[in-house]
Structure 1
Amino acid sequence: MKRFFDLSCALIISIILIIPIIIISLLVRFTSIGPIIYWSDRVGRNNKIFKMPKFRTMRIDTPAVATHLLPDPKKFLTPVGSFLRKSSLDELPQLWSIIVGDMSFVGPRPALFNQDDLVELRTRHGVDKLLPGLTGWAQINGRDELPIPEKVKLDVEYLQRQSFFLDIKIMFLTFLKVIRRDGITH
């Protein structure tokens, strides 16, 4: 049922948002050098690496590390990058990852390929068996500020409590967080 919900919602949302997606694509294209979409190597279900798309918000010479590990992340942002991140519009291409089955709307956020500590801790607790999500229990309970052990603790809590109704609650609370711009650092 979850896969059917993810697929049908992702297709409907993609159709509804096609005009904003085109506009954002043009903004990215005309305000910075490089591709419109940044394909990030991420860790998916069973620790399989997949390519996760996002609208490119960083310059093409940015190191491939988590943003919070950069010495001065703001210096790497493109002219529209800050807006896209703060509004979470940079995440829209991940609808593709949901359509092809690499992601779900709700699950643990996919780790970067080089976040070995996060991947190891998730694997130890069985969280690696879940399909990663566009949003998750950890995202509505702290987002970027959470230390890795706390994120994994929340991921485990989601693993144990997952249900259709919890997913709906998480999606609703995510929508509220995005509107309020809660927990967004860059």
Structure 2
Amino acid sequence: MQRQMGAGLFLKQCIDRLAATAGLVCLAPVMAATALAIRATMGGPVLFRQVRPGRGGRTFQLVKFRTMLDAKDADGNPLPDEQRLTRVGRFLRATSLDELPQLWNVLRGDMSLVGPRPLLVEYLPRYSAEQARRHDVLPGITGWAQVNGRNALGWEERFRLDVWYVDNWSLALDAKILAMTLLRVVQRQGISHAGDATMFKFLGNEPRTAPPPRPATSRRA
């Protein structure tokens, strides 16, 4: 196991920042066109910003292109994702164009190109000790779980793959995941979980139930 620390982490971050800089420059026309499409169909803001936990659970502000309307019900609660997700938003998610602004997070050092996806802060106390190890490394724009099912996976399997990445990280594995990501984007696989527009919330691990006690054997007098 090669942990993300010292020279290994430094080299990974150097590669990340060089790639993020090149990506932001080369993809600037694509990002500008995406921003215009969002503005025309959904109005402002163009970017979605949310605090997410990074390496060691330290929080940062993640940026993505907005894919949903801010529609709410009569009580002021957000409507379900499938009702707020626009046609343009579905296209952005299917092509992963909504993730491009996260290159800025990579450039800042908040994220890596490859690593476990940064999820919601509210999930932190819900992880088991093993699942929480996904925060031992930098979060990524793509990751081992993303190229092995993405949102089509259940949470338990997704976290298992995240921890596997933590234990088996290498620059060669990162290169493999990036190559597989390009293939998955073309194939548009795993965009949503069955029955959901995106991915259902992680509510915690269900406690294991103990087996029912055996009935006492009757003794004859």
TM-score normalised over the length of structure 1:
0.89
Q: How many angstroms apart in 1 are the aligned matches of 2:129 and 2:191? A: 23
Q: Indicate which of 78, 88, 99 corresponds to 1:80.
A: 88
Distance 1:47 1:62 in 2: 31
Higher Rg: 2
Distance change >3 Å, CA 62–CA 95, structure 1 → 2: farther
Contact 2:142 2:181 in 1 (8 A): yes
AA partner of residue 56 (structure 2): N
Q: Deviations over 1:84-143 (max 9, x none)?
A: 11111000000000000110000000011222466x236655221210000111111110
| Runs of 4 or more consecutive aligned structure 1 residues displaced over 6 Å after TM superposition | none
Q: Is the 8 A contact 1:33 1:60 kept in 2?
A: no
For 1:5, the aligned partner's letter is I
Q: Give the Cα separation in 2 of the matches to 1:125 and 1:23.
A: 38
User: What residue in structure 2 maps to residue 49 of structure 1?
Assistant: 59
Q: What is the match of residue 26 of structure 1?
A: 36
- What is the 5 A alignment of 1:39-118? 39-61=49-71, 72-116=80-124
> Do 1:6 and 1:98's aligned partners in 2 also have CA atoms closer than 8 Å?
yes
Q: Could you tell me which residue of structure 1 aligns to residue 166 of structure 2?
A: 159
- Partner Cα distance (1:127, 1:61) in 2: 33
Q: Structure 1 or 2: larger helix share?
A: 1
Deviation at 1:40, TM superposition (A): 1.7
Partner of 1:174: 181
Matched, 1:184 2:191: yes
2:52 & 2:141 partners in 1: Cα distance? 12
Q: Is the 8 A contact 2:124 2:132 kept in 1?
A: no
CA contact 1:57–1:85 (8 Å) conserved in 2: yes
Q: Percent identity?
A: 40
Q: Match of 1:140?
A: 147
90-99 or 45-54, which deviates more:
45-54
2:43 and 2:130 map into 1 onto residues whose CA distance is 38
> 1:43–1:110: 8 Å Cα contact kept in structure 2?
yes
SS in 2 for 1:111: coil
Post-superposition shift, 1:73? 2.3
5+ residue gaps, structure 2, are 1-10, 198-221
Q: Match for residue 67 of structure 1?
A: none
* Aligned residue identity for 2:188: R
Segments of 5+ residues of structure 1 without an aligned counterpart are 64-69
Shift of 1:170: 0.3
Provide the secondary structure at the position in 1 that maps to 2:63: strand
Matched residues, number = 179
